[in-house]
Amino acid sequence: MKVNLGNIIPISTIDWSGRSSIIIFFNGCYFKCPYCQNYTTLDSVRLIEIEDIKKQIIDAKPFISAVIISGGEPTMQFKALYELAKFAKQQNLLVGIQTNGYCPDKLQMLSDHKLADKLFVDIKADPLNTKKYSSLTGNIENAAEKLIQTLNIANIVIEARTTIFKSINDSLGIFKFIKNNKYSHTYVIQQGIHYKFLDEAINKTEMFTYNEMISIATNICVQTNTKSIKIRTKEHGEEIICAN
């Protein structure tokens, strides 16, 4: 079996809090998000034998406790995703999937077969605002509907994430949606960092400062009567911000 592979990071300590992981990036995605950092790989083709990827997992095994499969969107190559998740579990490693949530049935199957321990789900906007959500995915009309189905997957840990920019920040609406639906999911607001994005307008947008990220998190706590919320910044990594 061949995998359309983007890249592999042998060891990461920032993608899964408290875990050292190998990160496997698949090429290809259903979406074309304006702030995508990996947009050059969306249509790229680099076919690698899956056995070569398994070997890299074995080589990294002494130093890691988890395998994270990301993209792009890894569910696009579901057979390879399933096979690598199964292999990782056979090595007694945890499995995390970084996903946009567009394929809930496939993610549910991984959960049912106990081949995924955690989903890292990227939420673009308040899912109730379907028009805005569609616009942030490259005009995928049912993107919000599929995302909600993914958030409803039972018996798996879900971390919801939103990367925010001064031109794109719906974190308050997203957190209200999570809280109103009584999800137990962790929610992390990620600082959008200057990069070469698909949308040139975002490339010219100022990023939120560290103090502004704290203010955003604190405001969400106040507006939603929540004790604390997580942020992730380049300055301090992941941390919990408590309301005053």
Checking if the pLDDT of 239 tops 80, the result is: yes
How much is the pLDDT for 139? 93
Give 107-140 pLDDT, tens digit per residue. 999 999 999 999 999 999 999 999 999 999 999 9
Least-confidence region, from 34-43, 52-61, 74-83:
34-43
Would you tell me how many other CB atoms lie within 10 Å of the CB of residue 66?
Answer: 20
Single-letter code of the amino acid located at 132: K
As a 3-state breakdown, the chain gives helix, strand, coil percent values, each rounded to 5, of 35, 25, 40
Checking if the pLDDT of 202 tops 80, the result is: no
Show the tokens assigned to 78: 């579901």
Checking if the pLDDT of 65 tops 90, the result is: yes
Checking if the pLDDT of 198 tops 80, the result is: no
Closest listed residue to residue 99, CA positions, set 78, 84, 127: 78
How much is the pLDDT for 195? 67
Neighbouring residues of 38: CB distance < 8 A, sequence distance ≥ 6: 6, 25, 29, 71, 72
In the chain, the number of structural domains is 1
Nearest-angstrom CA–CA distance, 239 and 81:
30
Q: Over the chain, what is the mean pLDDT?
A: 93
Q: Between residues 192 and 76, which one has the greater pLDDT? A: 76
Checking if the pLDDT of 228 tops 70, the result is: yes
206 secondary structure, DSSP code: P
Inter-CA distances, 170 with 37, 107, 124, 161, 214, Å: 19, 25, 8, 12, 15
Show the tokens assigned to 217: 């998190």
Show the tokens assigned to 182: 């009584």
* Structural domain that includes position 139: 2-242
Q: What is the CATH number of the domain that holds 138?
A: 3.20.20.70
User: Residue 192: which pLDDT band, with cuts at 50, 70 and 90?
Assistant: confident
How much is the pLDDT for 244? 63
User: Residue 43: which pLDDT band, with cuts at 50, 70 and 90?
Assistant: confident
Closest listed residue to residue 208, CA positions, set 160, 161, 164, 162: 164
Nearest-angstrom CA–CA distance, 209 and 93:
36
| pTM listed for this prediction | 0.94
How much is the pLDDT for 197? 63
In the chain the first and final C-alpha atoms are separated, in Å, by 54
Would you tell me how many other CB atoms lie within 10 Å of the CB of residue 199?
Answer: 17
How much is the pLDDT for 42? 75
Question: Do residues 164 and 190 touch, judged by C-beta distance below 8 A?
Answer: yes
